[in-house]
Amino acid sequence: MGVQVAIANIADGRSDFYEKRRPLVEEELKSLDWIRKDFACVESEIIRSDQDIQGFVQKVRSCGPQTLIIHIPIWAEPILSIKLYNHIKLPVLLLGNNRPETSSMVGLLGSGGALDQMGCDHLRVFDHEDHLSKMHVSAFIRASAAINELRGQTLGRFGGRSLGIATADIDPSQWQQLFGVNVENIDQYEIVDIAEKLDGGEVEAFARWFRSGLGGVEYGGAFNAKALDKQIRGYLATVKLIEKYRLDLIAVKCQPELSDGYVAHCLAHMMLNGSKAEKGRKQTLVHACESDADGALTMQILRLLTGGNAAALLDIRWFNRENGVWTLANCGAMPLDFYAEPEADDPLAKVKMVPHVFGTGGGGALSGVVKPQKVTMARLCRKNGAYRMAILSGEVVEATEEEMAQTTGAFPKAFVKTAAGIDFLDFFGSNHIHMVSGSCTEQLVMFCKLKGIQYKVW
């Protein structure tokens, strides 16, 4: 995702005052190079009049940035910030400095108070040189970009509620109002219909790559070569349906109609969510199991905030009070990215395909253990109709054989140490949680602040 930022540099409209402080302005402009380095910026000259504003507005409209930073290096009339916001309806960050000789703080407070009066929620950062403040600025930019990127996207929801999981259902109107995301309901039989009509050569080409790289295949029960062929077909058919309906993220019911009547959809889940493909690297695309719409949305938020990293859907299986480790597992698949060692290694080799523990239609689960790494976990939940988000930072750790044996052997799993204890379970509103590699806690918090969503961080 290319993140573009509009930076409006505003300053005193009185020429005599401005000329005296011009050297301070030039120093402060230079000190924002760290933003220009990390993000694509469309930037103004020094704005001191309505004419200056009009010129910058035209520039912004031709570039389509996702957020607006109003930089106040010295005192500037607060009305300039109001006029900029009236023309550029984007999330606003007021950025100043902590130098007493600039009067930046005075100007920032004046602009902030003026924006408050007109009901414009915004972020204020008073010292852009401070490390924590830089983190706030970066988080704001990425969260704003994610909000902008979500607006207008479409979730393809294949099938209705799975296994009575009420937390997977959503109110489409609420989604449109709060996130600007559309829901397209699609019959999951379309997957079967297209799967069975696929060209055999296309199926075999993928199968050769997949079988040659896989860490092993263990047939048994309803899982056999024919069932694996169906799973491959199901994945390739889903790709075609995503293209047909122009979907940005999907959620597939699977159980019980696909898992009993055709084949388990786990291979598609693993392949779509990850960045590994038979033709090299690809963009990740969110696929949530059990038609979990809020899960898909949470995964998409994680994905956008991290610039396209793979996101996972997992069940919360068990909490070890003695060592603070949570056992998380998915019923059949995880993105390959979570198994990847250094780039020289093939993550597919870390996965073994084994007979599934459910589904009369057959199919295999893609068993593996997530490698040690820092992760961020989150979930959009609802209470009395209002959204709230649980946010956890953690670290995937090695598990003992005893811990491994306590979870269904066929399921891919992760063992995560976090600061969350039993109190987390009282707050959390789902059996599913979602995980992404790396740290994006600050960005998630900023996302919630910008959307007016309650949140709690562990």
Q: Going by C-beta distance under 8 Å and a sequence separation of 6 or more, which residues neighbour residue 322?
A: none
Q: Render pLDDT for 320-369 as a digit per residue (tens, 0 to 9).
A: 998 999 999 999 999 999 997 655 568 899 999 999 999 899 899 999 99
Q: Over the chain, what is the mean pLDDT?
A: 94
Is 0.85 topped by the overall pTM? yes
Provide the pLDDT for residue 129: 87
Provide the pLDDT for residue 64: 86
Q: What is the mean pLDDT of residues 78-106?
A: 96
First to last CA, the chain: 28
Residue 452 CB coordination number (10 Å): 10
Q: Render pLDDT for 258-267 as a digit per residue (tens, 0 to 9).
A: 999 999 999 9
61-88: b (≥16 Cβ within 10 Å) or e: eeeebbbbbbbbbbbbbbebbbbbbebb
Q: In whole angstroms, what is the distance from residue 421 CA to residue 423 CA?
A: 5
Q: In whole angstroms, what is the distance from residue 242 CA to residue 250 CA?
A: 8
Q: Where in the sequence of the chain do the CATH 3.40.50.10940 domains occur?
A: 4-150
The token pair that represents 10 in the structure block: 């505003």
CATH architecture of the domain with residue range 154-457 = Alpha-Beta Barrel (3.20)
CA dihedral angle for residue 28, residue 29, residue 30, residue 31, rounded to 10 degrees: 50
Which stretches of 31-165 are DSSP H helices?
Answer: 33-38, 50-63, 78-87, 104-117, 131-150
CB 34 within 8 A of CB 131: no
Provide the pLDDT for residue 1: 45
HSE-CB for 415 with a 13 A CA cutoff:
19
Provide the pLDDT for residue 289: 95
Q: In whole angstroms, what is the distance from residue 383 CA to residue 194 CA?
A: 39
Q: Where in the sequence of the chain do the CATH 3.20.14.10 domains occur?
A: 154-457
Q: Which helix (H) or strand (E) holds 230?
A: helix 225-245
Written out in words, the top-level CATH class of the domain with range 4-150 is alpha beta
Percent of the chain at pLDDT > 70 equals 98
Q: In whole angstroms, what is the distance from residue 217 CA to residue 47 CA?
A: 65
Confidence of residue 278 (pLDDT cuts 50, 70, 90): confident
Q: In whole angstroms, what is the distance from residue 228 CA to residue 222 CA?
A: 10
CB 156 within 8 A of CB 249: yes
Percent of the chain at pLDDT > 90 equals 87
The token pair that represents 22 in the structure block: 């011009």
Q: In whole angstroms, what is the distance from residue 365 CA to residue 411 CA?
A: 7
Quick check: helix, strand or coil at residue 23?
helix
Q: Render pLDDT for 398-418 as a digit per residue (tens, 0 to 9).
A: 988 888 888 888 999 999 999
Q: Which of 56, 62, 57, 46 is closest to 12 using CA atoms?
A: 46
Task: Inform me whether the pLDDT recorded for 132 exceeds 70.
Answer: yes
Provide the pLDDT for residue 343: 59
Task: Inform me whether the pLDDT recorded for 51 exceeds 50.
Answer: yes
How do beta strands 352-355 and 364-367 pair?
Answer: antiparallel
